[in-house]
Chain A
């Protein structure tokens, strides 16, 4: 379970990035947060991972308060970032093995590595290729493999589908569904309304750090999400 309580981040120059954010992602649930650039999506994920300290409020993974026990909390968090390049001189297998060991795994067999790489749709011939020869989509799949390998209670995804081709995107959504079935709490930020609609159990629309609207699965199916999103984003844009 992931949770934020009045989570707020104000940067040095008095820039309000996230304002009193309250949300909860249950185990086995996919929560998608939509928002324009600078809406506070990545800042929220950064606070979940303790990359930045919240100005006020707090966040939890399970019962663990993240700002107070960041190292303990990170044991239960996996992360997939946008545009990850990984270690270019390492092969896919070496990258996966390295991050698995950082995640606390003492020994990882090649079979286990290959199985995970296969699961995210990487071709077998790519397992032993250096990552510098990979396309962006392949690197993204490897990033997801790293998150799967950690087998954490909650998964944070920061615009993971950006740059993926349609097949890659579809495969990715299937992977998310599998993770959901495994009971993971999934928090994903994206601009991609269509993929969000396909996979999300709940959607939050974040505008200038404020959670403007939260939609349930039923509302997602019922409402015109694109119009709704544009309404909120454009509404704020028109104020400027």
Chain B
């Protein structure tokens, strides 16, 4: 197995050469500086976010308790209130457009009331969420997404632009290949040597970043968070492989290192800087949320039509008759259903638009890696969808609890939405379901599967390209 031995020597030489180079020193300083900045900013901002979340949870619990102490009817009518999204402890990995996404869903507000009836709670979503900002890579924050997506990719190109062309210029490639070594061994050696060389400062800077973050009492990283960090690290390495392969491909195709550097910088600017922002702009236009006036008009119109129908029928029945109460119940519950459906429709429409736009931006590797980092950091659009799912599932649970408790009261007429038709007894606040936002790693894997596959395909294609270029080149 002579070629194994040669491979080891080539890898060792590449690492030694890189460790002694100025670019290695600069890359180390740059990555360390950025990772430290990231950790410091996170430690400054995260406690406030956690505090806000705890306050919102307390508010949610107090609202439930106050309503439960009054009666089941009040609990059913007022709803659970604001449902807060749990801030990710890994937000330093990927900001993921979080500032543009809502931090809570609305679990009920008073919309209308008559002498005898009041509107029932509905699940609503703040109108700004999700929107076009969710398709644009975030470059204003120094998070891992920025460091990996932009800085690490550039470092990878700077470590490989002269890997083959430089050796050809110095004559060492001919000397190397004058030995009994297959070309692919040389290429693999160069690839792995560069990957290990880059991994050293990157791993070091990540470890320092995590050391600073984890030693703070304000941030708690559990076992799952560490697992997610491990996955993010692997994704970063895979993404680095993509640019290493690109560097080797161009370096093998051109005669001079200077030309290779220019070509690679051009490709980097196009695919990493220009393309994501341009595609996001194009995609953003197609994700315009539409005039919210339309939505309000539709909402009012639906309510008016329902009210008209209700009053037409209601006046025919005596105020306290069973039939009259059933008409009241129908009015209240149908109104809540209609309004909630309207909100859900608007949300689904926007989610679909953002999803379409995100598909377009996947052409750029930096967007792919940012989406992946968001998925595993528990931030961004996909995470927001998980939150909305949690909210919807909680709403179902809450309503089922109201139904079951009402049925369990022998004094209740079980006519939902009408004060006289529902249980008026207080409810034990402990028994009322509380909203808890959770993350699910297996779901994250499922949502990230397409992007992971795309990234792997990109890497495979470029490695194959580099191999073909190097094997065919006449030296």
A residues neighboring B (CB under 8 Å): 46, 49, 51-52, 71-72, 74-75, 77-79, 81-90, 98-99, 101-104, 106, 143, 146, 150, 156
Please measure, in the bound complex, the distance between the C-alpha atom of A72 and the C-alpha atom of B3, giving whole angstroms. 12
Residue in contact with A85 in the complex, picked from B10, B20, B171, CB distance below 8 Å: B171
Please tell me if the beta carbons of A99 and B175 are within 8 angstroms of each other in the complex.
Answer: yes
Say if the beta carbon of B5 comes within 8 Å of chain A.
yes
- Interchain residue pairs with CB less than 8 A apart (23): A49-B174, A49-B178, A52-B475, A71-B182, A72-B180, A74-B178, A75-B180, A79-B174, A79-B175, A84-B175, A86-B171, A86-B172, A86-B175, A87-B13, A87-B172, A89-B20, A90-B13, A90-B16, A98-B13, A101-B9, A102-B6, A104-B2, A106-B5
Please tell me if the beta carbons of B179 and A51 are within 8 angstroms of each other in the complex.
Answer: no
Cβ–Cβ < 8 Å partners of B13 in chain A: 87, 90, 98
Please tell me if the beta carbons of B17 and A87 are within 8 angstroms of each other in the complex.
Answer: yes
Cβ–Cβ < 8 Å partners of A143 in chain B: 175
Cβ–Cβ < 8 Å partners of A101 in chain B: 5-6, 9
Cβ–Cβ < 8 Å partners of B17 in chain A: 87, 89-90
* Chain B, residue nearest A11 (CB): B474
Please tell me if the beta carbons of A84 and B171 are within 8 angstroms of each other in the complex.
Answer: yes
Residue of B9, B10, B21, B179 contacting most chain A CB atoms (<10 Å):
B179
- B273-294 vs A, CB cutoff 8 Å, 1 = contact: the mask equals 0000000000000000000000
Given A71-B182, A98-B13, A106-B5, answer yes or no on A81-B175 (Cβ-Cβ < 8 Å).
yes
Given A83-B171, A87-B172, answer yes or no on A74-B179 (Cβ-Cβ < 8 Å).
yes
Say if the beta carbon of B176 comes within 8 Å of chain A.
yes
Residue in contact with A78 in the complex, picked from B176, B178, B182, CB distance below 8 Å: B178
* Chain A, residue nearest B167 (CB): A87
Please tell me if the beta carbons of A81 and B474 are within 8 angstroms of each other in the complex.
Answer: no
* B-side interface size class: 20 to 34
Please measure, in the bound complex, the distance between the C-alpha atom of A158 and the C-alpha atom of B92, giving whole angstroms. 57
Residue in contact with A102 in the complex, picked from B16, B171, B174, B179, CB distance below 8 Å: B179
Please tell me if the beta carbons of B170 and A86 are within 8 angstroms of each other in the complex.
Answer: yes
Please tell me if the beta carbons of A104 and B474 are within 8 angstroms of each other in the complex.
Answer: no
Cβ–Cβ < 8 Å partners of B172 in chain A: 84-87
Residue in contact with B179 in the complex, picked from A84, A89, A104, CB distance below 8 Å: A104
Known: A49-B178, A89-B21. 19 other contacts (CB 8 A): A49-B174, A49-B177, A74-B178, A75-B180, A79-B175, A84-B171, A85-B172, A86-B170, A86-B171, A87-B13, A88-B170, A89-B16, A101-B9, A102-B179, A103-B179, A103-B180, A104-B179, A106-B5, A156-B178
Cβ–Cβ < 8 Å partners of B475 in chain A: 46, 51-52
Cβ–Cβ < 8 Å partners of A86 in chain B: 170-172, 175
Please measure, in the bound complex, the distance between the C-alpha atom of A9 and the C-alpha atom of B133, giving whole angstroms. 59
Please measure, in the bound complex, the distance between the C-alpha atom of A12 and the C-alpha atom of B180, giving whole angstroms. 27
Please measure, in the bound complex, the distance between the C-alpha atom of A86 and the C-alpha atom of B167, giving whole angstroms. 9
Cβ–Cβ < 8 Å partners of A99 in chain B: 175-176, 179
Cβ–Cβ < 8 Å partners of A106 in chain B: 5
Cβ–Cβ < 8 Å partners of A75 in chain B: 180
> In chain B, residues 1-54, which have Cβ atoms closer than 8 Å to a Cβ of chain A?
2, 5-6, 9-10, 13, 16-17, 20-21
Please tell me if the beta carbons of B174 and A51 are within 8 angstroms of each other in the complex.
Answer: yes
Cβ–Cβ < 8 Å partners of B177 in chain A: 49, 51
In the assembled complex, the CB of A187 is this many whole angstroms from the nearest CB of chain B, namely 13
Given A81-B171, A101-B9, answer yes or no on A52-B178 (Cβ-Cβ < 8 Å).
no
Please measure, in the bound complex, the distance between the C-alpha atom of A84 and the C-alpha atom of B171, giving whole angstroms. 5
Please measure, in the bound complex, the distance between the C-alpha atom of A46 and the C-alpha atom of B174, giving whole angstroms. 9
In the assembled complex, the CB of A23 is this many whole angstroms from the nearest CB of chain B, namely 20
In the assembled complex, the CB of A206 is this many whole angstroms from the nearest CB of chain B, namely 20
B residues neighboring A (CB under 8 Å): 2, 5-6, 9-10, 13, 16-17, 20-21, 170-172, 174-182, 474-475
Please measure, in the bound complex, the distance between the C-alpha atom of A46 and the C-alpha atom of B171, giving whole angstroms. 13
The 7 closest A-B pairs by CB, nearest first: A79-B178, A85-B170, A84-B171, A89-B20, A102-B179, A74-B180, A71-B180
* Chain B, residue nearest A83 (CB): B171
Cβ–Cβ < 8 Å partners of A84 in chain B: 170-172, 175
Please measure, in the bound complex, the distance between the C-alpha atom of A83 and the C-alpha atom of B171, giving whole angstroms. 7
Cβ–Cβ < 8 Å partners of B178 in chain A: 49, 74, 77-79, 156
Cβ–Cβ < 8 Å partners of A103 in chain B: 179-180
Cβ–Cβ < 8 Å partners of B2 in chain A: 104
Cβ–Cβ < 8 Å partners of A85 in chain B: 170-172
Please measure, in the bound complex, the distance between the C-alpha atom of A156 and the C-alpha atom of B174, giving whole angstroms. 12
In the assembled complex, the CB of A62 is this many whole angstroms from the nearest CB of chain B, namely 14
* Chain B, residue nearest A146 (CB): B175
Cβ–Cβ < 8 Å partners of B182 in chain A: 71
Please measure, in the bound complex, the distance between the C-alpha atom of A83 and the C-alpha atom of B172, giving whole angstroms. 10
Please measure, in the bound complex, the distance between the C-alpha atom of A156 and the C-alpha atom of B178, giving whole angstroms. 10
In the assembled complex, the CB of B145 is this many whole angstroms from the nearest CB of chain A, namely 34
Please measure, in the bound complex, the distance between the C-alpha atom of A71 and the C-alpha atom of B177, giving whole angstroms. 9
Residue of B10, B16, B20, B172 contacting most chain A CB atoms (<10 Å):
B172
In the assembled complex, the CB of B183 is this many whole angstroms from the nearest CB of chain A, namely 10
In the assembled complex, the CB of A135 is this many whole angstroms from the nearest CB of chain B, namely 16
Cβ–Cβ < 8 Å partners of A46 in chain B: 474-475
Please measure, in the bound complex, the distance between the C-alpha atom of A79 and the C-alpha atom of B171, giving whole angstroms. 11
Please tell me if the beta carbons of B174 and A98 are within 8 angstroms of each other in the complex.
Answer: no
Cβ–Cβ < 8 Å partners of A71 in chain B: 180-182
Cβ–Cβ < 8 Å partners of A82 in chain B: 171
* Chain B, residue nearest A88 (CB): B170
Please tell me if the beta carbons of A102 and B474 are within 8 angstroms of each other in the complex.
Answer: no
Please measure, in the bound complex, the distance between the C-alpha atom of A146 and the C-alpha atom of B177, giving whole angstroms. 13
Please measure, in the bound complex, the distance between the C-alpha atom of A202 and the C-alpha atom of B363, giving whole angstroms. 62
Please measure, in the bound complex, the distance between the C-alpha atom of A88 and the C-alpha atom of B6, giving whole angstroms. 20
Please measure, in the bound complex, the distance between the C-alpha atom of A99 and the C-alpha atom of B6, giving whole angstroms. 10
Please measure, in the bound complex, the distance between the C-alpha atom of A120 and the C-alpha atom of B10, giving whole angstroms. 25
In the assembled complex, the CB of B159 is this many whole angstroms from the nearest CB of chain A, namely 14
Cβ–Cβ < 8 Å partners of A88 in chain B: 170
Please tell me if the beta carbons of A81 and B179 are within 8 angstroms of each other in the complex.
Answer: no
Cβ–Cβ < 8 Å partners of A146 in chain B: 175
In the assembled complex, the CB of A155 is this many whole angstroms from the nearest CB of chain B, namely 11
Please measure, in the bound complex, the distance between the C-alpha atom of A72 and the C-alpha atom of B177, giving whole angstroms. 13
In the assembled complex, the CB of A50 is this many whole angstroms from the nearest CB of chain B, namely 8
* Chain B, residue nearest A77 (CB): B178
* Chain A, residue nearest B177 (CB): A51
Residue in contact with B181 in the complex, picked from A72, A102, A150, CB distance below 8 Å: A102
